[in-house]
Amino acid sequence: MLTYNLNERKGPLYKKLYESIKEDICQGKILSGEKMPSKRTLAKNLGISTITIENAYDQLMGEGYIYAVPKKGYYVSDISGLQKVKVPVVASCHIQMPQKDENVRFDFSSNHTESANFPFSVWAKLMRETISLREKELLKVSPCGGVPELRQAIATHLGAFRGMQVDPDQIIVGAGTEYLYGMLVKLLGKDKIYCIENPGYKKIRQIYESNGAQCIFSNMDASGILVEELEKCDIAHISPTHHFPTGITMPVTRRYELLAWANEKEGRYIIEDDYDSEFRLNGKPIPSLQSIDACGKVIYMNTFSKSLTSTIRISYMVLPEALANEYYRKLAFYACTVSTFEQYTLASFISKGYFEKHINRMRLHYGRKREQVLEVLRKNLSSKQCKILENDSGLHFILELHTRLTDREVKERLWNKKIKISTVSDFCMDEKETDSHQFILNYSNMDVEKLEGAIEELKSLL
């Protein structure tokens, strides 16, 4: 008969008993197939209640150490499998986290937006309002494309701000553009060939490739991507409003050439990545490619991570009618990745006019900041030393340095002084080293007061 000194262990009585018996089974003190004492007998023997025994037996059964035979009793399971696995001593966990450069003195390469500009108090107010007024809706599952209120607000905004006629059902909301790119690969097919701009964001390539799609690259002239280089591809991923890093805005003729390319063959699509259209600083926004596409060939994408704050992971895409229908047929089983709390908050942020106000404020702010930066540059660098390439839009411009140093040498020498800068050639998709002499000045997160010092260091290299 099993006898245990249960006082040696911690926790509720049933747990102490369960652990004791389990140990005996694992150590082979009770053998496979052996009959366990009945609950009543064991209770009597140990001087505890049958309910405690029952709880311990239930747990042992649940985990598979014993089994019950109706009207007969409990038996020990065959646990010979347990011995088959060698259990090595667990070493402590060594995880190498992605490194961050902590010691940067000045960073020309960061394209984050200043978090101080986020209208935090308004957002907090609307979030509180959402929590108190929408309890019922908040706990309803969001449709796969997002809650109707948010999609309606986005559609209205796109109408007013970008001249786009969009049915809210065409809009799919998701947790970041990276996520939506992945959904697009699922929708359009990973057997398709995706063409991205060269130079361009390498992350876009990484995302397509990590989703199993093949990427090719198209070179650019002053009007943007070269249409003749698209012959072999199915999907062109472009940012016609303001290309990074070149700053090119695609003129209307090239836009129509692109649409003509897409119309030539079934299955061809253009992904219009409109990530910073809100930051055209003068004049009215350039009409989107989507707004002049009458054949359902343009997938429009935008994000609030850029225009609001990168910690808000809400992006959306506008699918042409046929693709929207295909999305709902093929991918509606994917739940929306954005929580209803933030969807409703953003919906009222847009529909109450705060988003427009915020964008206008940001355009003024960045316009002023841009002027300040340009002034510092013009004051400290002569036109013999450099040329500034900029076109009134976006949150960066390009400084073309007249230097005999290679791009790599400039970057390394600056890095020795803890100044981080990237070049247009860093964004070239072919890995071969070319010298663009074009340096990218992201000013959205720049500390203008320290700029002069950084420019001094740059000058000393020339």
Q: Under rule CB under 8 A, which residues in 293-312 are in contact with a copy of itself?
A: 294-295, 309-312
Give, rounded to a whole angstrom, the gap between the first and last alpha carbons of the chain.
91
Q: Which is nearer to a copy of itself, 185 or 195 (CB)?
A: 185
Q: Which is nearer to a copy of itself, 210 or 460 (CB)?
A: 210
* Identified binder of a copy of itself from the candidate list 120, 133, 375, 433, rule CB under 8 A: 120
CA distances from 385 to 339, 378, 413, 439, 451 (A): 51, 10, 17, 13, 17
256 touches a copy of itself by CB under 8 A? yes
User: Is cis: bond before 240, omega within 30 of 0?
Assistant: no
Residue 3 CB, nearest distance to a copy of itself (Å)?
Answer: 23
- The site string for a copy of itself over 59-78 (x = CB under 8 A, - otherwise) reads x--xxxx-----------xx
1 touches a copy of itself by CB under 8 A? no
* Identified binder of a copy of itself from the candidate list 4, 75, 161, 328, rule CB under 8 A: 328
Residues 6+ apart with CB under 8 A from 345: 123, 126, 127, 130
Residue 373 CB, nearest distance to a copy of itself (Å)?
Answer: 21
Q: Which is nearer to a copy of itself, 292 or 462 (CB)?
A: 292
- Which structure tokens are listed for 16? 């102490």
Q: Which is nearer to a copy of itself, 103 or 132 (CB)?
A: 132
Residues 6+ apart with CB under 8 A from 405: 413, 461
Please give the size of the binding site for a copy of itself, defined by CB under 8 A. Answer: 111
What are the two backbone dihedrals, phi and then psi, of residue 379, each rounded to the nearest 5 degrees? -70, -35
281 touches a copy of itself by CB under 8 A? no
Place of tokens 């020498």: 413
- Which structure tokens are listed for 407? 């791009």
Binders of a copy of itself in range 26-55 (CB under 8 A):
55
User: CA 169 to CA 179: how far, in whole Å?
Assistant: 19
Residue 462 CB, nearest distance to a copy of itself (Å)?
Answer: 25
- The site string for a copy of itself over 124-143 (x = CB under 8 A, - otherwise) reads x--xx--xx--x--xxxxxx
Q: Which is nearer to a copy of itself, 243 or 410 (CB)?
A: 243
Q: Which is nearer to a copy of itself, 155 or 271 (CB)?
A: 155
Binders of a copy of itself in range 157-176 (CB under 8 A):
165, 167, 169-170, 175-176
- Strand bridging mode 438-442 / 396-401: antiparallel
Residue 407 CB, nearest distance to a copy of itself (Å)?
Answer: 22
* Identified binder of a copy of itself from the candidate list 31, 68, 252, 448, rule CB under 8 A: 252
User: CA 37 to CA 17: how far, in whole Å?
Assistant: 13
Q: Which is nearer to a copy of itself, 429 or 458 (CB)?
A: 429
Neighbours of 417 (CB within 10 A): 15
- The site string for a copy of itself over 179-208 (x = CB under 8 A, - otherwise) reads x--x---x---x------------x--xx-
335 touches a copy of itself by CB under 8 A? yes
Binders of a copy of itself in range 346-385 (CB under 8 A):
none
88 touches a copy of itself by CB under 8 A? yes
Q: Which is nearer to a copy of itself, 308 or 377 (CB)?
A: 308
- Judged by DSSP in three states, 262 sits in helix
Binders of a copy of itself in range 378-437 (CB under 8 A):
391-393
- Give the H or E element holding residue 214: strand 214-218
Q: Three-state SS across 57-83?
A: HHHHHHHCCEEEECCCEEEECCCCHHH
DSSP-derived secondary structure for 324-370: HHHHHHHSTTSPPSS-HHHHHHHHHHHHTTHHHHHHHHHHHHHHHHH
Residue 89 CB, nearest distance to a copy of itself (Å)?
Answer: 8
Q: Which is nearer to a copy of itself, 117 or 385 (CB)?
A: 117
Q: Which is nearer to a copy of itself, 1 or 33 (CB)?
A: 33
Residues 6+ apart with CB under 8 A from 112: 310, 444, 445
